[in-house]
Structure 1
């Protein structure tokens, strides 16, 4: 018989660093979704032309405002610890949905062609970072 693997103890400064990093991820995701949502609700979001090119019905009310409300609600859900895990799952699904533009309207993302990104392409590709940050928080077991 072999002994179970030894559990590595984590030093207090490392735990503090992990705690701070986790809180910063939560706060930055919440701020991002709040900001994006408020701009949609106010009707001044710079993403409207991108929506018109891909999902035209989403580019006007009531759908644009509903999308904005979802994003503001997601921001609140990220801050409220009891709602965080389910919110993160919804956020990940939402962000994966935004990547569908790669199939629906690649001409909007690449100019003159792949792999050169347009401004809209950069906007969409940054969602990979938001998805990754959301996954890190969702899979984190330190708050269970």
Structure 2
């Protein structure tokens, strides 16, 4: 009596696997990203605010008039002093990010400041939207909308604030 035993299909028997070298490389990149991601995000955000703030302080920013026109409807806010003042605030916030001090206060202030930039969409729609079409941004509109990314960075940093370093 002969019994025939079917051999299982090799593909069914062995789960699909990535080559071992790819897994090791991916693990190395994941470990590196976990180690440097948080500080890199904090440092690059800090350097960005230091840079933008310094340009406002020295009146070398291309957005001085744009910022002034965003807030000039508020009594007593004159771009002549407000734009450099905003630059000082940005430099202080940026420096705090770089040295990693005062994050409990700095991150909410940064979040509020970035939310304030969206005022331009309301106060200057003719400047931020092409032909009054909210889907067509001008250069100024793109400048404002990119702050959504910076807001997300602040939220991520705030969420990581109390996590122990690895």
TM-score tier, shorter chain, comes to 0.7 to 0.9
**Matched residues, number:** 133
Q: Kindly tell me: are residues 95 and 37 of structure 1, through their superposed partners in 2, closer, same or farther at Cα, counting changes over 3 Å?
A: same
Q: Secondary structure at the match of 2:101?
A: helix
* Counterpart for residue 142 of structure 1: 163
Choose 1 or 2 for highest CA Rg: 2
Gaps of 5+ in 2: 1-26
Whole-angstrom distance in 2 between the partners of 1:82 and 1:38 = 20
Mean Cα deviation higher: 86-95 or 14-23: 14-23
How far did 1:50 drift?
Answer: 0.9
Mean Cα deviation higher: 98-107 or 65-74: 98-107
Mean Cα deviation higher: 116-125 or 44-53: 44-53
Q: Secondary structure at the match of 2:102?
A: helix
TM-score under structure 1 length normalisation: 0.83
Runs of 4+ in 1 over 3 A off after TM superposition: 11-16
**2:111 aligned residue (92, 111, 117):** 92
Q: Describe how 1:65-144 pairs up with structure 2 within 5 A.
A: 65-112=84-131, 113-140=133-160, 141-143=162-164
Q: Secondary structure at the match of 1:33?
A: helix
TM-score under structure 2 length normalisation: 0.72
